[in-house]
Structure 1
Amino acid sequence: MEMDLATYEERARNGPCFVCAFLRGDPDYRHETVYEDADHIAFLDRWPTLPGRVLVAPKAHVEHVVRDLDEAAYTRLMLVVRRVARAVESVLRPERTYLLSLGSQEANSHLHWHIAALPPGVPLGRQQYHALMAENGILDPPPEEITDLVTRLRAALGEEPPPTG
């Protein structure tokens, strides 16, 4: 499915912080939560380029992964990213799992990590950055597929011990 990049960019630049709006319960920024603890939230990407793409963010509005987190907070966040990524891998069995932090001061400034599971068999020319770019199309899974994925991810997360540190 083609993505309306101009509308997305306008929303990202001029709308509220998408993570903070989601956490406040703004219906225009609704996402499917797969994991939550006192300090972090993990949810399905609204515009996935790969099946089961999940975002993980601190609940506090933090903008810089290196400057704004002390070592303990960074470690706790990365343990959550790893825990969620392991659940994604157990459910989707990808060839490779991409982890990256995106955003900028101009748009999507709230620190968040993308967990993107590359399915087996994707040709090399459609892997890596190509697979992550909305310009190359987004998926539009039916609601029942999303519900099933959320259920399976939550179950997989329930099987792992909570992060420590």
Structure 2
Amino acid sequence: MAESGSCVFCRIAAEDDRAEVVYEDSDYVCFRDRSPAATHHYLLIPRIHIRNPGELTGEHIAMVEKMGEIAREILAQQGASPEDSRLGFHWPPFLRVQHLHLHILNPPSSMGWFARHLLFRENSFAFMTHAAMLDRLRSML
């Protein structure tokens, strides 16, 4: 399912590259961010290669909904509050890795000013929340 050996997230999903995996199933893998912006900072990826959130359509609603469910489960398993979290996707060109990934951040109060107000600012030019992404995809139907 991997795009090629060039995508680091595809390699992590295939277990060809190292990451601290906190969750995996047949469709998704979640691992700790190597440069965490919050006390709990995880990246949840689909095993299939989708370059970025701009490639998502209404056909991806179930996948994005499932990603949100998994994110909340992971936070609960890690002892974090799913209610006090920031879940979202970066838009190009604000992606370091061209593979769809949901940022799971908890608590937002543990983030520095730059991360909280710029890099992971809710529904900004760079970052769209999980809920806003679902609204966008539903509007495509």
**TM-score normalised by length of structure 2:** 0.61
2:16 is aligned with 1:23: no
Q: CA deviation at 1:46?
A: 1.2
CA separation in 2, counterparts of 1:26 and 1:62? 18
CA separation in 2, counterparts of 1:69 and 1:39? 18
Q: 1:24 to 1:92 in 2, by over 3 A?
A: same
CA separation in 1, counterparts of 2:112 and 2:28? 33
2:74 is aligned with 1:63: no
Q: CA deviation at 1:111?
A: 0.5
Larger proportion of helix: 1
Contact in 2 for aligned 1:53/1:114 (Cα 8 Å): yes
Q: CA deviation at 1:126?
A: 6.9
CA separation in 2, counterparts of 1:26 and 1:83? 23
Q: Following superposition, which runs of at least 4 residues in structure 1 exceed 4 angstroms of deviation?
A: 122-127, 130-133
The count of corresponding residues between Structure 1 and Structure 2 is: 115
Contact in 2 for aligned 1:50/1:131 (Cα 8 Å): no
CA separation in 1, counterparts of 2:43 and 2:97? 12
Q: CA deviation at 1:18?
A: 1.9
Partner residue in 2 for 1:80: 67
Identify unmatched segments of 5+ residues in structure 2: 122-141
- For the pair shown, the structure with the greater C-alpha radius of gyration is 1
Correspondence 1:142-153 to 2 at 5 A: none
CA separation in 2, counterparts of 1:104 and 1:76? 20
CA separation in 1, counterparts of 2:55 and 2:115? 30
Q: CA deviation at 1:24?
A: 3.3
CA separation in 2, counterparts of 1:125 and 1:38? 36
CA separation in 1, counterparts of 2:25 and 2:19? 16
Contact in 2 for aligned 1:35/1:41 (Cα 8 Å): yes
The higher relative CO (CA closer than 8 Å, separation ≥ 6) is in: 1
2:97 is aligned with 1:108: yes
Contact in 2 for aligned 1:89/1:97 (Cα 8 Å): no
2:46 is aligned with 1:46: no
Q: CA deviation at 1:49?
A: 1.3
